[in-house]
Structure 1
Amino acid sequence: MAVDPIQERNQDATVYCGGLDEKVSEALLWELFLQAGPVVNVHMPKDRITLSHQGYGFVEFMSEEDADYAMKVMNMIKLYGKPIRVNKAAAHQKNLDIGANIFIGNLDPEVDEKLLYDTFSAFGMILQTPKIMRDPETGNSKGFAFVNFASFDASDASIEAMNGQYLCNRAISVSYAFKKDSKGERHGSAAERLLAAQNPIAQADRPHQLFADAPNAGVAAPPPMVPNTYSTFANAAATMAQGGMMPMMMPGMFFPGYPPMGHHGPPGQMPPPPPGAGPMPMFQPPPPPPGAFIPPPPPVQ
């Protein structure tokens, strides 16, 4: 008796891949996701009559860590010009539309699906690929899009934070989308929120807060930079003199009140000292400490 391959699949190590172009094959999907980790199995459900896939597939990895890494690096990349959606297969089965759908208007033509996903996923889980409305003939953006969140907390936060913000040099408008086949009624009603509170994936939704400019908790700040002054140069030169080395003026070192070396003035000319500055101090290395080794002078030829 044949065993269903879906039941044998390790769901925790399997990712769902949606939004696939009709030209994508299982072999291509295998080669693509092999860049993220060892692939065990690739399955693309096909129509029994036309034998063509239905726009999605499942990729099973050897470990759950490989599946998590694949979601991070492969989600929203374009395959044959279409952004693909990659998430956990188990989570995909629970992704129910709860109505936390927002409308984004006044989009710049350069905004694509990946930019929208990277921007709005900071507020919570996005269930589907952001849908940018495009002209069917030219493929150009019509200037507005829709994003479907997994919780109303995420959609509320995105509207509050992003409405009126600039995205690609345009101030975008963010609000709840109108319901289909309704007379001007928008999403976000009290009835939708009551039903969404019972959805387990909405309860587990957390915003992505790993931003590059966030301070690292528990990590001490680096010490402040100390400018190159005469005293620091003198200390470095004294250390070099103790080791028998000739101190040198390095670019970027300067004396107090005088311009740094390596200036970009006319050739052969030094800029005049600033008003009120005394004569340029001559560097005199301090005498070596008692008992220090002093190398003999080189022999005269």
Structure 2
Amino acid sequence: MNRVNQQEADQNPEATLYIGNLDENVTEAILYELMLQAGPIVHINLPKDRVSQTHQGYGFVEYKTEADANYAASIMNQIWLFGKSIRVSKSASDKQNGFEIGATLFVGSLDPLVDESTLQQTFSVFGPFAKPPRISRDTDGSSKGYGFVSFTDFEHSDRALESMDKQYLMNQQITVTYAFKHDGKGGRHGDETERLLALQAKKNQYIVPQQAIQAPPPGATSRRG
């Protein structure tokens, strides 16, 4: 597997949790100590505003296994932290009723200044997200130069790919393609089989329409609806 393929495959959305409604006093160290109680953590990230360097009220925690992530979501959701009830849920929210849509794009060659909010603002014009856009980061929080954007439908992801591949974002040409699946077989999302399954699931009403998930704007906190 080449370097680009490895980049796309080294994240495990099934073991990643979205943590929302975080108080401004929450740090990565505090969140790490809290979430570590559920199992070993691979990576933790609190996206920060580029100017103020304060986190934006949400973050992501990746566990070693999906089982640990599921356990953490079950025991940590709605606990109180600095006077706020935090929201903990699976980041891979494009699984609905056991069916994975697969409309997930890999966005590469990103400028180091591109963060989750930038991806949200850039790609939200193409359709609703299935989960908040995510930048892959090193342990020190710096961007690895690539990220992931997941839509609720292939129509939206196709439009985003066709419109944004080889375009410039912050004066740097980016690449957009369908992300690799996590089944270890090297296939990408968006193949014919996946599209047929998604179409059939819609016809059978296996996929329940849900409110689009948007990454909170800088300085905002996630609130339960």
Q: What TM-score do you get using the length of structure 1 for normalisation?
A: 0.38
Structure with more of its chain in helix, by fraction: 2
The residue type equivalent to 2:18 in the other structure is G
Distance 1:134 1:185, change over 3 A: same
Contact 2:164/2:176 (<8 A) preserved:
yes
Letter in 2 for 1:121: S
Letter in 2 for 1:189: D
Contact 2:136 2:145 in 1 (8 A): yes
Q: Distance in 1 between matches of 2:206 and 2:121?
A: 20
Equivalent position to 1:164, from 163, 166, 190: 166
Report how far residue 181 of structure 1 moved: 3.1
State the partner residue of 1:146: 148
In structure 1, how many angstroms separate the alpha carbons of the residues matched to 2:208 and 2:168?
Answer: 30
Letter in 2 for 1:19: Y
- CA deviation profile, 1:7-48 (whole Å, cap 9, x unmatched): xxxxxxxxxxx8326x94xxx59xxxxxxxxxxxxxxxxx9x
Which of 115, 118, 126 aligns to 2:118? It is 115
- For 1:36-70, what per-residue CA distance to the aligned partner results, in whole angstroms no more than 9, with x for missing partners? xxxxxxxxxxx9xx79xxxxxxxxxxxxxxxxxxx
Could you tell me how far 1:193 is from its partner in structure 2?
A: 0.6
1:182 CA displacement: 3.1
How many residues are aligned here?
137
Would the aligned equivalents of 1:113 and 1:131 in 2 still touch at CA under 8 Å? yes
Change (3 A) 1:201 1:103: farther
Higher RCO (Cα < 8 Å, 6 or more apart)? 2
Secondary structure (helix, strand or coil) at the match of 1:142 reads strand
- Mapping of 1:1-301 within 5 angstroms? 19-20=18-19, 24=22, 78-79=56-57, 82=59, 94=96, 97-136=100-139, 138-197=140-199, 198-199=201-202
Name the residue aligned to 2:79: none
Counterparts of 1:203 and 1:157, CA distance in 2:
22
Cα contact 1:97–1:150 (8 A) shared by 2 = no
| C-alpha distance in structure 1 between counterparts of 2:94 and 2:106, whole Å | 23
Contact 1:150 1:202 in 2 (8 A): no
Amino acid at match of 2:119: L
Deviates most, 157-166 or 115-124: 115-124
> Which structure has the larger Rg?
1
Aligned AA (1:78): Q
Deviations 1:152-205 (CA, angstroms, capped at 9, x unpaired): 101110110000111111111001111113333111111111121223597969
Q: Show structure 1 runs of 4+ deviating over 4 A.
A: 91-96, 200-205
What is the percent sequence identity of the aligned residues?
A: 43
Distance in 2, matches of 1:202 and 1:122, equals: 22
AA matched with 1:143: G
Give the CA RMSD over aligned residues.
3.9
How far 1:142 sits from its partner (Å)?
Answer: 0.6
Give yes or no for contact 2:128–2:152 (8 Å, CA) kept in 1. yes
Once residues 94 and 203 of structure 1 are traced to their aligned partners in structure 2, the CA distance between those partners, rounded to angstroms, is 7
Tell whether the 8 Å contact from 2:96 to 2:207 is kept in structure 1 after alignment: no
- Structure 1 gaps, min length 5: 1-17, 30-46, 52-76, 86-90, 208-301
TM-score, L = length of structure 2: 0.50
